[in-house]
């Protein structure tokens, strides 16, 4: 059983795994803990390669969670391959312990960055959002919806600022008719309304989640807040967030409109796909409305209608 006392020695530190794949991975230190897994830094002793190794908790995990963990390692790691998505190397079971070996990212999550520094510069927030959109567009093209997109599941690599999406543990394969969801999955405050209601979802659920992330990156606060889970869920279902322009004077109207389109309660009114999200961000960053306005004052409204209205 994993140690629950944070001050006690961790029995996994110093152990070796990966023999079933011809590797000898030495567990070095603990990186973090999620709802049903604990992630460690490990090194392949013959090459020195750093990897992340996530172990399934061996207590309090039901059969459905164990199945999702296995599916994350065996299925989504092969289906979803993109530079903006953390690469899964393999799934294994050794000494009765299930684990996933994946690419190690030396960096910080967006949650850590916002907690430490508050709102980001507008251009940086848009850059990060575009990279997330590009990565998820690749996932959506193979019918995989993340379903738990949030700042804690996005890392920024320290060396070059690369954006990496983590944790497809509760992802859904839209092409798999045999998969059933028992209860709502995801994180309150980021899940789309249809996801909260446990209705059928598609790729547009991730668009809602990404809109909530962009809002948080630009304002330093959650789009949907409350004193508890129920209040947060009700806010996301029925309320619109405070306009980001009221919380950050640097947020322009086109950026605010983009967020509003991504956070539409009805998925039919959101942007069509992640490719459209990325294209819209490009146009905003290029200053398209200002450039058009120099030639035709009425063109700004036409530009907004073209890219953000349905």
Q: What is the pLDDT of residue 293?
A: 44
Q: What is the pLDDT of residue 63?
A: 78
Interatomic CA distance for residues 263 and 192, integer angstroms: 8
Q: What is the pLDDT of residue 241?
A: 93
Q: What is the pLDDT of residue 197?
A: 87
| CA end-to-end distance (rounded Å), the chain | 53
**CATH superfamily, region 16-103:** Phosphorylase Kinase; domain 1 (3.30.200.20)
pLDDT per residue rounded down to tens, the chain (310 residues): 333 445 667 889 999 998 888 889 999 999 988 767 899 999 999 899 999 999 988 766 677 878 888 888 877 777 778 999 999 999 999 988 899 999 999 999 999 999 999 999 999 999 999 999 999 999 999 999 999 999 999 999 999 999 999 988 888 888 765 545 555 577 889 999 998 888 889 999 999 999 999 999 999 999 998 888 888 888 888 889 999 999 999 999 999 999 999 999 999 999 999 999 999 999 998 875 454 444 444 544 555 555 555 4
**Residue with token string 């869920």:** 233
Sequence-distant (≥ 6) Cβ neighbours of residue 168 within 8 angstroms: 72, 76, 77, 80, 139, 144, 146
Interatomic CA distance for residues 277 and 308, integer angstroms: 10
pTM assigned to the model: 0.85
Domain ranges of the chain: 16-103, 107-308
Q: What is the pLDDT of residue 128?
A: 98
Active site residues per annotation? 148
Q: What is the pLDDT of residue 206?
A: 97
Interatomic CA distance for residues 145 and 8, integer angstroms: 38
Say whether domain 107-308 belongs to CATH 1.10.510.10: yes
């Amino acid at each position: 059983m994993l140690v629950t006392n944070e001050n006690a020695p961790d029995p996994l530190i110093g152990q070796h795994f990966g023999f079933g794949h011809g590797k000898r991975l030495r567990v070095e230190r603990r990186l973090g803990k999620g709802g049903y897994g604990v992630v460690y830094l490990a090194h392949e002793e013959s090459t020195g390669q750093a990897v992340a190794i996530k172990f399934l908790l061996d207590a309090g995990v039901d059969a459905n969670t164990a199945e999702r963990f296995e599916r994350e390692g065996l299925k989504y790691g092969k289906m979803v391959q993109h530079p903006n998505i953390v690469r899964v190397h393999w799934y294994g079971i050794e000494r009765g312990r299930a684990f996933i070996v994946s690419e190690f990212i030396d960096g910080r999550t967006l949650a850590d960055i916002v907690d430490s520094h508050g709102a980001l510069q507008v251009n940086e927030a848009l850059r990060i959002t575009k990279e997330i959109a590009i990565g998820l567009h690749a996932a959506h093209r193979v019918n995989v919806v993340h379903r738990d997109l949030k700042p804690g599941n996005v890392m920024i690599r320290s060396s070059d600022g690369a954006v990496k999406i983590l944790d497809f543990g509760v992802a859904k394969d839209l092409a798999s008719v045999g998969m059933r969801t028992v209860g709502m999955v995801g994180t309150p405050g980021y899940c789309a309304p249809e996801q909260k209601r446990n209705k059928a979802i598609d790729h547009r659920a991730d668009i809602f989640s990404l809109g909530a992330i962009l809002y948080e990156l630009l304002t330093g606060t959650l789009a949907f807040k409350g004193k508890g889970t129920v209040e947060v869920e009700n806010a996301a279902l029925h309320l619109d967030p405070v306009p980001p322009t009221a919380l950050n004077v640097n947020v322009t109207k086109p950026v605010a409109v983009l967020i509003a389109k991504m956070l539409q309660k009805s998925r039919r009114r959101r942007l069509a796909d992640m490719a459209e999200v990325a294209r819209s961000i490009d146009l905003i960053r290029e200053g398209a409305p200002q450039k058009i306005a120099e030639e035709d004052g009425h063109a700004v409204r036409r530009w907004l209608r073209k890219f953000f209205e349905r």
